[in-house]
Amino acid sequence: MSDVAQEPSSGPTLAFEALLSQLIDQAETMQRSHSRLRDLIRVNNDLTSNLDLPMVLRRIVELGLELLDARYGAMGVVGDETRLDQFIHVGMDPGTVEAIGDLPQGRGLLGALIDDPVPVRLTRIADDRRSSGFPGEHPPMNSFLGVPIRVRDKVFGNLYLTDSRAGSFTADDEEIAQSLAATAGIAIENARLFEDSAYRARWSTALAETSRRLMRDDEGDDVSGLMVRLSELAEASVIAILVVEGDELVVHHVHGTLPGVEAALDRRFSIQDSVAFALLESGDPLTVASLAEVYDLSDSSRLGPCMMLPFAVSDHEHGVLFLGRPPEASAFADRDVEMGVSFAGHISLAMEREESRENRQRMELLEERTRIARDLHDHVIQRLFAIGLNLQSISTRLDPALAARVSTQIDEVDGAIAQIRQSIFSLKRTPEDADSLRSRIIEVVERIDPQLPGRARLEFNGPVDTLADGPLAEDVVAVVTEALSNVVRHAGASAARVVVTVAGGRLSIECTDDGSGPPARAPHRSGLANMRERAVKRGGAFEIGPARPGTRVLWWAPV
């Protein structure tokens, strides 16, 4: 046997060390897996126990940063097929966010997940052709991981994570992010169901309350009160009720928080406009992301999402209920349309009640005026008439001087009777009479009367409204206006009297005053010349001459 010691072989030792290293790596991998599994269980409990949707969305981003050790994270909520409706970000300080300005709308790399909702993992964002770069104040970002979040197989939004502190995101990170997205989808669905339940409870309570108040009595919620309540429920900054009048939509009611919104009252829109016509023709509600999409108005930019609901104002009237939100607000959802349609029915009922109430009040006022007019006619006028007859009887037994003075007082009594009769007619006028010739002449006299030291007396004889209409009525109003205006400007009179008579196939206007008499010579283009031209054009005549005292103007035309 040799006494030389042989060195042990290194082969088995190296193999053992390699095996030991593999066992350690597997143990570390298992430990990381167990750790991440515990984190996912914790995340699941964290998210599913929260039912406040805005808080859930932000918490998803925060947990994504924590699980995957990333610097920046964001959640983009898809509003429609082409843009982000919300963008919740975590990791940037407020100063940087303010410096960047507008939040992303879903273009470039962020839009890639909207167009094709599959995970995207990048080592360098700048190397991807879909990247559109960053704004000037945006912090630099390298690695990127984006995964879609689905709620009931429909993409709700996307989770974006950038700048892994490990340098880049791994395949394991992608799996963790997808697991987080799956948990997030469940949490979002729970929060949305809870929020939807609370939303419908608020609307149901409001609808039930307004129903009770509308049915309780005729003094239920008025239209303006319902609009205020609706604006609160729908989070709308502008609400308007437009009613069809002929070929136009007219704003009858408006409420809102925007400055100057009241200026929209009585604003008119052509029904021939494609949007309005389609809306009324189909009867289907319409929602848009921005008012500017359907109307190119100077103030369109002040409103963002809008909802337009056609509804029946009454059995014979139709209209549109319009709701608008601020530009930064979320879009109107299907549930908003559903509840808005229900509220429109209540508004329709309130408008009918309001119209009925106004008609009843108008009738009560008319009845009261009729009673006053009847009392004036049956008592006051009859007593004045009796006084006039007694004075006439007495004047026959007086000397001429006293008889003349009594005769003057009799004329004053006759004038008072005529004025009371005119007042009776004014009391009986209704809004429907506003366009009648009598009403228009009364308005002229009432407008000019305060400019005279005394009172302008007005008398009507014959069927003035029946036989004088159309162009002739326009001439009559113009002549009365010019005649009284001349009294005010030139006559130096203290009182005036206008008598409008329809008899013998012609309409005549006689205007007398107690002023200084007619002008010696009227200019060719004066108001007097205009009155003459109107009479001659109609085959009538115009005269101006002295009265005792003052001036007498006579204008007539055949009817």
For residue 495, the model assigns a pLDDT of: 82
Kindly tell me if the per-residue pLDDT of 37 is higher than 70: no
For residue 148, the model assigns a pLDDT of: 92
Residues 243 and 326 occupy one common structural domain: yes
Contacts of residues 378-387 at CB distance under 8 Å and 24 or more positions apart, as own/partner, are: 380/420, 381/417, 381/420, 381/421, 384/413, 384/416, 384/417, 384/420, 385/417, 387/413
Quick one: which of 365, 319, 366, 321 has its CA closest to 344? Answer: 321
Please say which residue of 351, 371, 403 terminates a domain.
Answer: 351
Please say which residue of 179, 195, 211 terminates a domain.
Answer: 195
What is the secondary structure of 261-319 as a DSSP string? Answer: GGGGTT-EEETTSHHHHHHHHH---EEES-GGGT---TTGGG--SEEEEEEESSSS-EE
For residue 51, the model assigns a pLDDT of: 81
Residues 48 and 186 occupy one common structural domain: yes
What contacts 79, CB < 8 A, 6 or more positions away? 85, 86, 289, 330, 331
Residues 40 and 123 occupy one common structural domain: yes
| pTM for the structure as a whole | 0.53
Q: What are phi and psi of 18, to 5 degrees?
A: -65, -40
Q: Residues 478-488: what's their mean pLDDT?
A: 88
- For 333-374, how does the pLDDT look when each residue is reduced to its tens digit (9 = 90+)? 888 888 888 888 888 888 877 777 777 777 777 777 777 777
For residue 1, the model assigns a pLDDT of: 43
Sequence length of the chain is 559
With bands split at pLDDT 50, 70 and 90, how would you rate the model's confidence at 431? low
1 or 421: which carries more pLDDT confidence? 421
For residue 2, the model assigns a pLDDT of: 46
Residues 189 and 241 occupy one common structural domain: no
Residues 134 and 230 occupy one common structural domain: no
Q: Residues 422-432: what's their mean pLDDT?
A: 59
For residue 456, the model assigns a pLDDT of: 81
Q: Residues 285-290: what's their mean pLDDT?
A: 85
Residues 177 and 278 occupy one common structural domain: no
Kindly tell me if the per-residue pLDDT of 4 is higher than 50: no
Kindly tell me if the per-residue pLDDT of 233 is higher than 70: yes
For residue 72, the model assigns a pLDDT of: 92
Residues 159 and 304 occupy one common structural domain: no
Cα(280)–Cα(266) distance, integer angstroms: 19
For residue 507, the model assigns a pLDDT of: 94
Asked if the structure places residue 38 within a domain, the reply is: yes
Cα(75)–Cα(244) distance, integer angstroms: 44
How would you classify the pairing of strands 268-270 and 248-256? Answer: antiparallel
Asked if the structure places residue 248 within a domain, the reply is: yes
Kindly tell me if the per-residue pLDDT of 395 is higher than 90: no
Cα(304)–Cα(308) distance, integer angstroms: 13
Asked if the structure places residue 369 within a domain, the reply is: no
Asked if the structure places residue 412 within a domain, the reply is: no
Structure tokens at 354: 């309001």
- Domain containing 138 equals 27-195
Kindly tell me if the per-residue pLDDT of 115 is higher than 60: yes
- The CATH number of the domain holding residue 474 is 3.30.565.10
Domain count, the chain: 3
With bands split at pLDDT 50, 70 and 90, how would you rate the model's confidence at 34? low
Percent over 70 (pLDDT), the chain: 83
Q: State which of 176-185, 450-459, 483-492 shows the largest mean pLDDT.
A: 176-185
Please say which residue of 351, 378, 402 terminates a domain.
Answer: 351
Residues 280 and 148 occupy one common structural domain: no
112 or 68: which carries more pLDDT confidence? 68
With bands split at pLDDT 50, 70 and 90, how would you rate the model's confidence at 52? confident
For residue 21, the model assigns a pLDDT of: 65
- The CATH number of the domain holding residue 166 is 3.30.450.40
Asked if the structure places residue 20 within a domain, the reply is: no
Residues 447 and 551 occupy one common structural domain: yes
For residue 197, the model assigns a pLDDT of: 87
- For 300-321, how does the pLDDT look when each residue is reduced to its tens digit (9 = 90+)? 567 888 999 888 887 778 888 9
Structure tokens at 544: 């101006």
Kindly tell me if the per-residue pLDDT of 38 is higher than 50: yes
Residues 137 and 242 occupy one common structural domain: no
For residue 28, the model assigns a pLDDT of: 56
Asked if the structure places residue 402 within a domain, the reply is: no
Residues 39 and 143 occupy one common structural domain: yes
Asked if the structure places residue 379 within a domain, the reply is: no
- For 503-548, how does the pLDDT look when each residue is reduced to its tens digit (9 = 90+)? 888 999 999 988 877 665 544 446 788 899 999 999 999 999 888 7
Percent over 90 (pLDDT), the chain: 11
Residues 177 and 286 occupy one common structural domain: no
Picking from 50-54, 143-147, 476-480, 553-557, which range would have the lowest pLDDT averaged per residue?
50-54
Asked if the structure places residue 97 within a domain, the reply is: yes
CB-based contact 555:540 (threshold 8 Å): yes
